[in-house]
Structure 1
Amino acid sequence: MDNNALHTVEARIREQITAHCESGDVPGFVAGVCHAGEQTIVAHGTANAATGAPMRQDTGFLFGSVTKVLTTMLVLQQVDRGLLDLDTPVVKHLPDFALTVPGAADKILVRHLLSHTNGIDADLFFPVAKGRDALKTYITGLASSCGSMFEPGEQLSYSNGGMIVAGRLLEVITGTPFPELLERDVYTPVGMKDSGTSAEQAILRSTAIGHFPDPATGAARPTGMFMLPDTWGPAGGTPVGTVADLLALGRTHLAGGVSPSGTRVLSTGSTTLMQQVSYDMATPNVPPMGLGWVRYPFGDTTVLAMSGASPGGVAILCVVPEHDLVFAAFGNTPGAIMLQDRLLQQLLRERLGVRIPALITGVQQDVDLTPYAGTYRSDQLRIDVRVVDGQLEEQAAYEPADASQERVFTAFTGGMTAAPPQRYVPIRAGLFAPAGYPPETFDGYLRLLLVSYHDIRDGRARFRNGGGRLTRRA
């Protein structure tokens, strides 16, 4: 990319970010693009509405689930070193790993942790613990609190629990606490010089906090919780860094595991393995899963991506190997994902010339809705689905296991414990779109808003998939 083209990209991103920040949609936003060796970072707005601190190009933020790429890299480093095998049962190295379903944990392989095919039903399990034993505490809690949603390898369901188990597995294999391992084996060799894993580190430099829209006024109010407990570190609870750090990470994956400074971080084989399809649900709302990466198809172009929610904020990292491009961004309200999706599609269309076809090209008439009505559950989540006026109406509610779980969950969501009823219109059998959205909404990252139903048995769907996560018919 020549400098003139880079300036054009920068100007377009600045225009979009400025409009969103000044309209009040998001207090602050920072985004970066690296293409063909040239890099630009743009920031605008406020990093912290409580202090008025500005969002800067080097402002840090919580990575959220972008961390899952890092955790996967750490596991595959141990595979490269011969200390782990992806097809080994996790309990071989982690004998304390158990679930409430007898024998379920014994069937889970290391590979299942990274490909989100493990079936661990722990997506909202938030034990509170700090320090060196945090992940050990999480594993102990699984055995008494969390079950299994499906047989390992049978389905795909986005799994925070799987990544946290992988983090504890790494501690046992290496004898090193996860935060130290992350800093030593990923941050340092990649060149992520401003990244850390604690609020204590974050407070020493410019760091953004999350915000939620005030129910009464709509104005952004600061989060009451900066980060999730240490028990969620490997899934994305604690790592903090900058857009420049994420661009360096993305460039490492473009270069087959070699960092921008020339340091080999991961073998070419393992870097390639992360990018290959490990499981495909064959439904438009759930892109094929690699290891760590989600593979978003935009026509004939694949975008390796991972987004990450934190309390009141959302980060994203996208790598486009076919076009030597990395895009990273953070916005400090949950709705910032809308702007991130728009910027990504803009880059693909305008900068790379990618044709993005419509994901929804037609609507099937007279879809039988009866197989989908019913109650679906996963860890502390209940979704009631009923047929109303030729549509599905869903009512989701959080059902906390105890007061501690409720405190963490409500802080993470800005006080929400139940969503308002949502109507869904049928696209075809088993696939539904939220009512009122134009079809082009779902062409990009926001295809995750679609809902699908799977495994029809005796005229009833066994699973519901929303946002890549399964709930099972009760």
Structure 2
Amino acid sequence: MAIMEPSSDERSPSRRGVLRGAAGLLIGAAAVSGVAATAGCSAFRSKARSDEDELFGELDGKIEKVMKDHAIPGVAVGVWAKGREHVRGYGVTSLANPQPVDGDTLFRIGSTTKTYTGTAVMRLVEAGKLNLDATVRTYLPDFAAAGPGVAEAVTLRQLLNHTPGWLGDFYQDFGRGEDALTRYVTGMAALPQLTALGSTFAYNNAAIDLAGRVIEKVTGSTYEKAVQDLLLDPLKCERTRFFADELVGYRTSASHTVADGKAKFDASGWYIPRSLGPTGGLMSTAKEQLAWARFHMGDGTGPGGVRVLSRDSLVAMRSNPGPGGTLAVELDGMGVAWHLRPSAEGVRIVQHGGTWRGQHSGFIMVPDRDFALTVLTNSESGSKLVSDLTVDDWALKKYAGISNLPATPQTLSASQLAPYEGRYEGQVIFGDGKPVDLRVQLTADQGRLKYRALSPEGDPMDPEPGVPETLAFYREDYVLPMDGAGKPFGSRANFLRGPDGRVQWFRENGRLSRKAA
């Protein structure tokens, strides 16, 4: 999904998070269900639900089981299906200070923030202040990039569909001042160019931060204030904010790591650099995330009929995808900040989701079937639940009547696997600004590729939770990551070939690793 990665120190994404992209204390729960007439964050007018409600009862049971099995202290979920909404909290906000989670509990939503950045851009497009196909230098004349000719040519649309081609995992912390994004964008000049501009989808946090800086420039405001003025206030999203001091008094879900099958409170997990605001800085609730989905599936009006966007602009955001690939699942490509995902039935799935240290969230909608689901978790292991509900197709089948493209694991011969064998190398820049190389060795093993992460010294590392042990092909160049028991994680990955037809890249969790040997 998608994704701000959790961290191996207080403020940086972990190696495991970059490579893969996932004590159930059920002592408190709250739920609402009913019909809401309007879109927007103040639209919820709900009535009590029965625990025996067949439409949502199976979902509740599934969530509670995964929480118990995978040490997830707290979860909030919101569903809109078959003309009804279901918002519920499960478990507790924190193991250190447990309070029951409900639909108003705050979580970090990570990279779902990107959809707010994209939507703010569309408001400015409608106002005539931005053009998706104009170059970034139209608005930021001093923008610099490492690739020859890239700074002069890259467009706003290419930022939002993740095709600028430079290294995207740039997490450097530039402080809490209002110049954080300006300094971040200046730092982007050193990012290596991996692929030709506009040619290849590769998940790109840096590109979205750059789009946030464009918003600052044309509005004359900070990015956070611009998003509040353009979106949060008109939609009356009172609990969706970038800064914790604006949400004092509201119940907040803490972050938790997991070790030996047990969750542990992580006080450091809540911090996120201001320089990453446009790509992952928002906090929100299940209620307000579900309202965000219903706004995007609606006609562009908010509470009280206030016009926020035209329906045409909303549809345009989930149309005209750029180059496709994989990001947990197969993608048609990215629209304007939305993952556009195919289904076996030909109905488009629109998706995002996000991760920060100890907080995993998922967000999925099918406008043609009037279905949306959001899930927020407060544990490092919450990725399992997010995958089950938004990557796997259980919820899609149950509520929207559609499913993933088929993928049946195959057994390949040694000669068929040989072109894919080798060492693959990627890179991430952590909060301190220092690049870290990430290496994976793939070798043929009983009809599949054995997957081994390598230490900085080049030695194979022991398998760790959330990282595949093998890759099973299901069609040419496309693989299913498998666990130690030979079961698919539910995610998908793929290889890319160069101009000479040889395997050049491995794309996992949307990131590219170059074949080195």
Q: What TM-score does the superposition give when structure 2 sets the normalisation length?
A: 0.79
Matched, 1:109 2:158: no
Q: What's 1:383 paired with?
A: 439
Alignment partners' CA distance in 1, 2:188 and 2:52: 48
- SS of the aligned residue for 1:315 comes to strand
- SS of the aligned residue for 1:54 comes to coil
Compared with structure 1, are the counterparts of its residues 343 and 428 closer, same or farther at alpha carbon in structure 2 (3 Å cutoff)?
closer
Q: What's 2:42 paired with?
A: none
Q: What's 1:43 paired with?
A: 89
Compared with structure 1, are the counterparts of its residues 14 and 93 closer, same or farther at alpha carbon in structure 2 (3 Å cutoff)?
same
**Alpha-carbon RMSD:** 2.9
Q: What's 2:22 paired with?
A: none
Structure 1 gaps, min length 5: 400-415
Q: What's 1:219 paired with?
A: 262
Deviation of 1:41 (Å): 0.8
Deviation of 1:234 (Å): 0.3
Alignment partners' CA distance in 1, 2:348 and 2:144: 36
| Matched residue type, 2:243 | S
Compared with structure 1, are the counterparts of its residues 440 and 271 closer, same or farther at alpha carbon in structure 2 (3 Å cutoff)?
farther
Deviation of 1:282 (Å): 5.6
Is the contact made by 2:366 and 2:372 (CA closer than 8 Å) also made in structure 1?
yes
**Structure ranking higher on relative contact order (CA contacts 8 Å, 6+ apart):** 2
Moved more, 163-172 or 79-88: 79-88
Matches within 5 A, 1:19-418: 19-35=65-81, 37-143=83-189, 145-214=190-259, 217-223=260-266, 224-236=268-280, 238-281=281-324, 285-288=329-332, 289-300=334-345, 301-344=347-390, 345-352=393-400, 354-356=401-403, 359-361=406-408, 363=410, 365-366=412-413, 368-372=416-420, 373-379=422-428, 380-390=436-446, 391-396=448-453
Is the contact made by 2:70 and 2:381 (CA closer than 8 Å) also made in structure 1?
no
Alignment partners' CA distance in 1, 2:466 and 2:89: 32
Structure 2 gaps, min length 5: 1-33, 36-48, 429-435, 457-462
Is the contact made by 1:10 and 1:42 (CA closer than 8 Å) also made in structure 2?
no
Compared with structure 1, are the counterparts of its residues 130 and 77 closer, same or farther at alpha carbon in structure 2 (3 Å cutoff)?
same
Is the contact made by 1:396 and 1:418 (CA closer than 8 Å) also made in structure 2?
no
| Matched residue type, 1:304 | V
Alignment partners' CA distance in 2, 1:126 and 1:339: 29
Deviation of 1:241 (Å): 1.1
Is the contact made by 1:6 and 1:38 (CA closer than 8 Å) also made in structure 2?
no
Alignment partners' CA distance in 2, 1:426 and 1:332: 33
| Matched residue type, 2:105 | T
Q: What's 1:434 paired with?
A: 481
Alignment partners' CA distance in 2, 1:108 and 1:6: 53
Alignment partners' CA distance in 2, 1:76 and 1:308: 21
Compared with structure 1, are the counterparts of its residues 383 and 137 closer, same or farther at alpha carbon in structure 2 (3 Å cutoff)?
same
- SS of the aligned residue for 1:113 comes to helix
- SS of the aligned residue for 1:138 comes to helix
Q: What's 1:469 paired with?
A: 511
Alignment partners' CA distance in 2, 1:42 and 1:349: 21
Deviation of 1:151 (Å): 1.6
Deviation of 1:258 (Å): 2.0
Q: What TM-score does the superposition give when structure 1 sets the normalisation length?
A: 0.86
Moved more, 70-79 or 21-30: 21-30
- SS of the aligned residue for 1:371 comes to helix
Alignment partners' CA distance in 2, 1:355 and 1:69: 24
- SS of the aligned residue for 2:514 comes to strand
| Matched residue type, 2:312 | G
| Matched residue type, 1:370 | A
- SS of the aligned residue for 2:199 comes to coil
Alignment partners' CA distance in 2, 1:13 and 1:420: 26
Deviation of 1:140 (Å): 1.5
Q: What's 1:406 paired with?
A: none
Alignment partners' CA distance in 2, 1:6 and 1:94: 56
Compared with structure 1, are the counterparts of its residues 100 and 131 closer, same or farther at alpha carbon in structure 2 (3 Å cutoff)?
same
Deviation of 1:347 (Å): 3.4
Compared with structure 1, are the counterparts of its residues 356 and 94 closer, same or farther at alpha carbon in structure 2 (3 Å cutoff)?
same
Alignment partners' CA distance in 1, 2:167 and 2:295: 32
Moved more, 95-104 or 113-122: 95-104
Alignment partners' CA distance in 1, 2:101 and 2:406: 34
Alignment partners' CA distance in 1, 2:159 and 2:224: 19
| Matched residue type, 1:226 | W
| Matched residue type, 1:351 | Y
Deviations, residues 128-187 of structure 1 (Å, cap 9, x unaligned): 3113111011011112x3121112211001111110000001000110101111111111
Deviation of 1:37 (Å): 4.7
- SS of the aligned residue for 1:17 comes to helix
Q: Percent identity?
A: 25
Deviations, residues 71-103 of structure 1 (Å, cap 9, x unaligned): 000111111111111111102211232123343
Deviation of 1:435 (Å): 3.4
| Matched residue type, 1:281 | G
Alignment partners' CA distance in 1, 2:65 and 2:104: 21
